[in-house]
Amino acid sequence: MSNVQANPRAEESIFQGYAPAAASYDEVFHSDGEVRDGWRELLATADQIGRTELTRRWSRAQEEIQAEGIAYNPYDDSTGVARPWELDLLPLLIGTEEWSALATGLEQRARLLNRVLADFYGPQELLTRGLVPADWLFSHPGFRRVFHGQQSHGGTFLHIYSADLARAADGRWWVARDRTDAPLGLGYALENRILASRMLPNAIRRFYIERLAPFFIRLQETLRDLTAARRDNPRIVLLSQGPSGANYFEDAYLARYLGYTLVEGGDLAVRDDHVFLKTLAGLLPVDVVLRRISDEDCDPLESGSAAEYGVPGLLQAARLGHVAVANALGSSLVESPSLMPFLPGIAREWLGEELALPSVATWWCGQAKARSKALKLIESGELTGYSVRSAYRLGRREAVSAAGPHGKSPRDVRSLLESRPDEFIVQEMVQRSTSPVWYEDEPNRLHVALRVYVVAGPDSYHVMPGGLARLAREPGELDLSVFGGQVSKDTWIRSTGPVRHVSLLATAKQPVVLRRSGADLPSRVADNLFWFGRHLERAQGTARLLRSVVARLTGEGEMGAAPDLDYLVRCLALQGQIEPGFAVEEMKDKLPEITNVLPAAVLDEQQPGSLRSSIAHAHRNASQVRDRLSLDGWRIVHHLERTSSLASERAAKSDPSPADVAKANEKEIPTRKFAHVPFGLVELDGLIDELIVSLAALDGLIGESMTRTSAWRFLDLGRRLERASHTVSLVQSLPDENPPEQGRGLEAVLEVVDSLMTYRSRYLAAIHRAAALDLLLTDETNPRSLAYQLATIADHVGNMPRGDAHPLGTPEDRIAGSLLHGVRMVDVEDLSVAQLERSKLEKFLLRTLDQLPKLSNLVSHRYFIHAGRPRQMSEGRREHV
């Protein structure tokens, strides 16, 4: 079938065996199998690389996606499972001329929709001139009167416009959907480009592919200019729904790429009709809000929205011109498909132009003619090529569930149309082109949806030369959301000559004011960083302790168990890794063999304090502040999470459930049968080694790559507090016995806290109590010692942002200072000479263990405690009785 002859070794040809569909347009092949112009060189390049190598590159890219955690709906509460992004090997290629026609049409459409918005929320000339039926606007639940009469900056409502395109069988592009509220997908388009250029490294340059960066620079300029009159260096925030939103990955990605602060509604406050960012250093003014949540949820004070992620008072601040919101509040109104039938007329009247880019044929049933057309279609049973859908889109949802010919009987559709016609449209089923994809290692034929983006400039709109192509087996899957479909493709627009490389950072024309700030850290972010630090350190401490235990359990002890094993197992039990009974001498014998329970216990996510749970918490905290972590840092966190959660699944499976055991006993089947995949000490040992290496790498990154701002201080404070408690509790649990036993215990502690090498290099001898305790507790030159932690803690606490309320120091200062003083006053010789003195050490350790959590709480209260969610005053109450 295929005539791809670019490679003489035809069997290597990557689309060998692919058959373009007869009824639809194929992006790559003519219906006779001939390759389309423009694709030949790309296919030839691919063929040259060869199937084997391409497969390898594609797998590599998928690994990359896994490693970076590129996914959507990461914390979807219903399933809790993030779906990883999938990218095809070959891009969608669009030629120069074809694209330029498309871009002209898109630019016109953005211009037109912007004017329509300004009119609906202003003079409503479209209604008085009869270009849009008054019924359309007045019956539209998304026409919120509170948005009327806003002063939009320079007449622009629509700063970012997006359209979903479909290509019909004749090769023409149609607009299937308009997106004007807060268009999604830009981040994925960017990520696709980065991955695609790794799979086909030289192709982008060689085939003169347009770059995406200029579009984002334009976006930055547009947003900056929204406040140009007032500030040189405006504060722009990206308002996200947070990790509960399906697009959180993208929000974080874009915020980092564009250099904006990622905020959730709770991070912003409106005071004196101005918008502020709540930071550790107090309230900082916000000039521009790039919103990623729907306009109806942005201001619960006036829209009555019950959503918790809005900002009360935002609308009034915007009305008074104190803040600019992009897109302007109310923009969602024109993304309803029922507006489509009126656009050609508006374009003719207002612009004196024909609508350059047609919409998929749509009829709004609020009009008698359209209604009777729809009813006639139903009557004649010809509804197959059409769908009956909601006329509106509100808050990213179809307002009324789509009543398609698939879902409902013709009679039901009919009665809906007769009783509530204005809530429905009839739309021709979107025809979509097909394209071969490499998906699943062989050429498949999937349908294509192309999402494209337009940004407002000072005088006109600019189209991003590229887009997000999504592909699906059933064209209908692509209609519902930007996440629909099986796989995505990067979109390459060819230029006629070499494309200049630009970077987002190289645009400043004016001298920049040097800054070393860090005070603009939102309290919520500081909170997450602090706990990220704590959980990370807890995981590390636990992992090291476990490694020592496992080494002793699997090692060949001379007399069976290693002598310090009891001590280490007790530590594990005290830390909640295993049944607390293991810490009690009399109970130990009644419990199962530690060897059997250990793997499942430490990998039990439900068990608070377990290794698995610490890592899961650290990952959760990190994912809330993704924009604050370097890409490498995030990768390691993601790797830790994946490795430990996979191991956790395996361990859970290999551990027969009590029900299984009971059943087995009944039928006399060996329980072994239920252990699908064994996960024993050997596997645990390997896992722990891997985790420790990753954790150490993360430590290094944090130590070497994070600037010493407040963000770093909070993270490090969390780590230090945790490490201090860990060390103290290890020393505290030391056996209260004669020297040889103690010596072994001390050696184990030194090993666990990574100080054994230091000890050996210093003393070259058996473990001496005073020397060991010095290294563990009082030696400020040892970054693992208690004294070192306490000195660092005192430094962090002393350098935290603070108001003028505490000229003499905060309570945190006093606790940190007194602990540091305490450890400096300890005389290890004194502590170690006599049994009697043991109580002195005990007292000191107890005091430290008592004070550290207090310090942690004080820091939380001062910096992290939020004032709480704003509530509606009128909750459940009515005035008119």
Partner 1 sequence: MKFKISHTTKYEYSDTVPFCQNVVYLQPRDTSHQRCSRFRLTVHPQPATNQRRADYFGNTATFFSIDKGHRLLNITATSSVDLDPHQLPDMTDTATWESVRDALHLDRTAEGLARYQFAFRSPHVPFHAELADYARQSFTSDRPILEALADLNHRMHGQFTYDPRATNISTPIMEVFETRRGVCQDLAHLMLGCLRPLGLPARYVSGYLRTHPPEGQPRLMGADASHAWVSVFCGEHGWIDVDPTNDVFPSLEHITVAWGRDYSDVCPVAGMFIGGGNHTLSVAVDVAPVDNQE
Q: Which residues contact 297 (CB under 8 A, 6 or more apart)?
A: 303, 305, 307, 309, 310, 395
Q: Which residue has the tokens 């939102």?
A: 522
Please answer whether residues 332 and 393 qualify as being in contact, where contact means their C-beta atoms are separated by less than 8 angstroms: yes
CB atoms within 10 A of CB 179: 24
Least separation in angstroms between CB 146 and partner 1: 8
Nearer to partner 1, 272 or 668 (CB): 272
Nearer to partner 1, 667 or 877 (CB): 877
Peptide bond into 738 cis (omega under 30): no
Three-state DSSP state, 115: helix
Kind of pairing between the strands at 71-72 and 393-394: unpaired
Enter the tokens of residue 408. 């409902």
Please answer whether residues 432 and 416 qualify as being in contact, where contact means their C-beta atoms are separated by less than 8 angstroms: no
Least separation in angstroms between CB 860 and partner 1: 18
Enter the tokens of residue 242. 């947070």
Burial code (b: 16+ CB inside 10 Å, e: under 16) for 71-83 equals: bbbbbbeeeeebe
Least separation in angstroms between CB 157 and partner 1: 17
Least separation in angstroms between CB 130 and partner 1: 6
Nearer to partner 1, 118 or 146 (CB): 146
Nearer to partner 1, 313 or 341 (CB): 313
C-alpha count within 13 angstroms, C-beta hemisphere, residue 790: 28
Burial code (b: 16+ CB inside 10 Å, e: under 16) for 801-817 equals: bbeeeeeeebebbebbb
Applying CB under 8 A, the residues found at the interface with partner 1 are 124, 127-130, 134-135, 138-139, 141, 145-146, 148-149, 270-273, 300-302, 304, 312-313, 316, 319-320, 419-420, 867-874, 876-881
C-alpha dist (Å) from residue 735 to 147, 577, 609, 748: 71, 19, 23, 12
Nearer to partner 1, 17 or 130 (CB): 130
Q: Which residues contact 580 (CB under 8 A, 6 or more apart)?
A: 573, 574
Residue 91 amino acid letter? P
Least separation in angstroms between CB 870 and partner 1: 4
Least separation in angstroms between CB 277 and partner 1: 16
Name the E strands within 323-431: 324-326, 362-364, 386-390, 393-394, 397-398, 424-428
Nearer to partner 1, 349 or 474 (CB): 349
Nearer to partner 1, 148 or 824 (CB): 148
Please answer whether residues 605 and 613 qualify as being in contact, where contact means their C-beta atoms are separated by less than 8 angstroms: yes
Least separation in angstroms between CB 369 and partner 1: 16
Nearer to partner 1, 300 or 599 (CB): 300
Q: Which residues contact 290 (CB under 8 A, 6 or more apart)?
A: 223, 236, 237, 238, 239, 258, 260, 326
Rounded CA gap, 383 and 426, in Å? 9
Least separation in angstroms between CB 593 and partner 1: 53
Enter the tokens of residue 273. 């009709």
Nearer to partner 1, 257 or 864 (CB): 864
Nearer to partner 1, 146 or 849 (CB): 146
* Partners of residue 456 on adjacent β-strands: 461
Nearer to partner 1, 146 or 194 (CB): 146
Least separation in angstroms between CB 863 and partner 1: 17
Least separation in angstroms between CB 319 and partner 1: 7
Enter the tokens of residue 584. 């009690």
Least separation in angstroms between CB 314 and partner 1: 11
Nearer to partner 1, 590 or 869 (CB): 869
Least separation in angstroms between CB 374 and partner 1: 19
